[in-house]
Each structure stands twice: as structure tokens, then as C-alpha cells.
Amino acid sequence: MSILIDENTRLIVQGITGRDGSFHTQKMLEYGTKVVAGVTPGKGGQSVHGVPVFNSVKEAKKMTEANAAAIYVPAPFAKAAMLEDIDAGIELIVCITEGIPVLDMVGIKHRLKGTSIHLNGPNCPGLISPGKSKVGILPGHIHRPGSIGVVSRSGTLTYEVVYNLTMSGIGQSSCVGLGGDPIIGMRFIDILKLFEADRDTKGVVLVGEIGGEDEQQAAQFISSSMKKPVVGFIAGKTAPAGKRMGHAGAIISSGDTTAETKIKVLRAAGVEVVDSPDEIPARIQQKLK
């Protein structure tokens, strides 16, 4: 199995006629993702890589029975794109767009309350269920099907971790890049719950970083509710306090948000935290014995 997406996912690409939307639509199609529609207001009736373009998400969903959406629109229009998905009842929204104003995301989080809609991102690489479907910008060729779930706050570290797993002969059930903004949709705890419930995921790799308290919340869930082994890595050990390091969410605001504190809390919860990503394959293999 897998989480969130599989071979039955039917995807809408918002911003499909733009440079990034068009490029990644082609890559998703090549991987085998069922991209059934694109949406660009005012350009309905066109097609991109053989994918029909509609003027609205509501129209696209009605005509194609899509259940997921990937957003590649510019930041000023991303809030409207997400609201359109929510209003249409799209089950999974993957927002790749970066630079979305914080207040826009406050409004989106409020609208999501009380719904069963999953939001991945914004400012994320998306997710992949190897051999089945990928939504976003993750490089499909470095993944292989298997039983290890991967969840990460860092896009590039996700790629490094997955590459090391694959080169060690360890496949993945699903890989999820959460995004680096202060306000995002799904967080560690949401993905960990899904991996714990997925019968074909045997272990989990968690990649965290400085800033925020997501790792602490994840540690509480792992300690109280997870039976599957978790191996972790926390980036940012040498980051100075108060300085943004790549992500808007990766800022040390207090002693509780440093890499050292996160490592300590995760280890106390039973997580095997490694010092380098290339140590992950050997550690997860040991955990599964």
C-alpha cells in the first residue's frame, strides 16, 4: 500500500499552462501519474501534453472526477487556488508554490477546519508513492517501491535520504516533503499517523530541522502511539540563533527549537537519531531485524 496517493489518484494541475506547471506535468505523466486535467482561468479548451485545460477546478472535477490537485500558480494567486480546491471538495491539495504570505495561509488553515481535506505544503516538493504516482517536483528515478515511509521538512534532504536508501536496496512505501514555511498543512504527526496505519509500511525515516516544535510533537506521538521503528535526522546543528537557514520555518527562536533539543527529545521517545543522512540505511535495516 501507500499513503495519500496511489495508482488511482486522479490529478488536476493548477497553473498547467505556465512554465513550471507544464514542465512538471510532463514529468508526472512520464512517471505514470494520472494527470486528468489542468486549470488556468481563461485558457479552457486548450491542452498541455495531451491534458485538457479547464477554466475552473469545479468544472475540471465534474468532467474528470479528479480527487487531487497540484498548485504551481504564482504566490499572489495561490490562496485563491487553494480556496477553489477546498470549495470543490478536492481530497488532497499539494501546493508547490513558495513565497505565499503568512496571513494568506492563516485564512487557508481556518477554511480547512472541520474538513477531511489534506493539504501538503505550501513551499514543498510534494509526495510520491514509488511505482504508483508522484505529485510535485520530486525526482522519480531515485525512488524504488518498498516498505519504508519517509517524511521530511527539507526537500533536498529528502532526495539525499531517498537516494541513500535506494542505493542500499531499501525501497519506500511513500515519501512526503512537508514544506518549509511557518504555516503549512500536514505536519509530522499527521504523516506519522498515516504511516502507522499503513500495513505495508514497516518503518519510518523522519528528517527534521531547526525551528518550530513539530519534532517535539512528533516525539510525543511516537512515544505514545507508534509501534513501528523510526530513524531520524535533524539538520541545522551549527545554525546560529535568530538567523534564517533556507526555510522561513527554520529559525531558532528559543532553546526549545535548536537541533540539540530536538535530537534529545526524539531519542527519549525511542527514535534512533543519526548524525549523518548516509547512516540511515544501516540503522533502519537494524531496526527491522
Q: Domain with 94 in it: what CATH number?
A: 3.40.50.720
User: Do β-strands 47-48 and 51-54 pair in parallel, antiparallel, or remain unpaired?
Assistant: antiparallel
pLDDT value for 258: 84
Residue 2 lies in a domain: no
Q: Domain with 247 in it: what CATH number?
A: 3.40.50.261
Catalytic residue (one of 24, 118, 143, 247): 247
Convert the pLDDT of each residue in 53-94 to its tens digit. 999 999 999 999 999 999 999 999 999 999 999 999 999 999
Residues 165 and 266 in one domain: yes
Residue 130 lies in a domain: no
Whether 18 has a pLDDT exceeding 80, the answer reads yes
pLDDT band at 239 (very low <50, low <70, confident <90, very high): low
Identify the domain containing residue 166 by its residue range: 139-288
pLDDT band at 259 (very low <50, low <70, confident <90, very high): confident
49 classed as catalytic: no
Biggest CA–CA distance in the chain, Å, is: 56
Whether 247 has a pLDDT exceeding 70, the answer reads no
CA distance 263 to 282: 19
Please tell me what DSSP assigns to residue 141: G
Residues 144 and 103 in one domain: no
Residue 4 lies in a domain: no
Instruction: Name the percent of the chain lying above pLDDT 90.
Output: 87
Residues 143 and 283 in one domain: yes
Residues 152 and 92 in one domain: no
Boundary residue ending a domain (120, 149, 178)? 120
Residues 110 and 149 in one domain: no
Whether 250 has a pLDDT exceeding 60, the answer reads no
Cell numbers at 12, concatenated? 488536476
Question: To 5 degrees, how large is the angle CA 182–CA 186–CA 187?
Answer: 65
Residue 110 lies in a domain: yes
| Count: domains in the chain | 2
Phi first, then psi: what are they for 276, rounded to 5°? -145, 145
pLDDT value for 220: 97
Residues 22 and 82 in one domain: yes
Convert the pLDDT of each residue in 40-54 to its tens digit. 999 999 999 999 999
Residue 115 lies in a domain: yes
Residue 59 lies in a domain: yes
Residues 94 and 223 in one domain: no
What are the E-state strand segments in 186-236? 203-209, 230-235
Residues 235 and 96 in one domain: no
Boundary residue ending a domain (68, 91, 120)? 120
Residues 168 and 221 in one domain: yes
pLDDT value for 289: 82
CA distance 27 to 137: 8
pLDDT band at 20 (very low <50, low <70, confident <90, very high): very high
Residues 144 and 267 in one domain: yes
pLDDT value for 244: 54
pLDDT value for 251: 52
pLDDT value for 180: 85
Residue of 244 and 216 predicted with greater confidence: 216
Whether 253 has a pLDDT exceeding 80, the answer reads no
Whether 127 has a pLDDT exceeding 80, the answer reads yes
Residue 126 lies in a domain: no
Residues 252 and 143 in one domain: yes
Work out the mean pLDDT of the chain and round it to a whole number: 94
Residue of 198 and 256 predicted with greater confidence: 198
The amino acid occupying position 264 is: K
Residue 165 lies in a domain: yes
Residues 93 and 146 in one domain: no
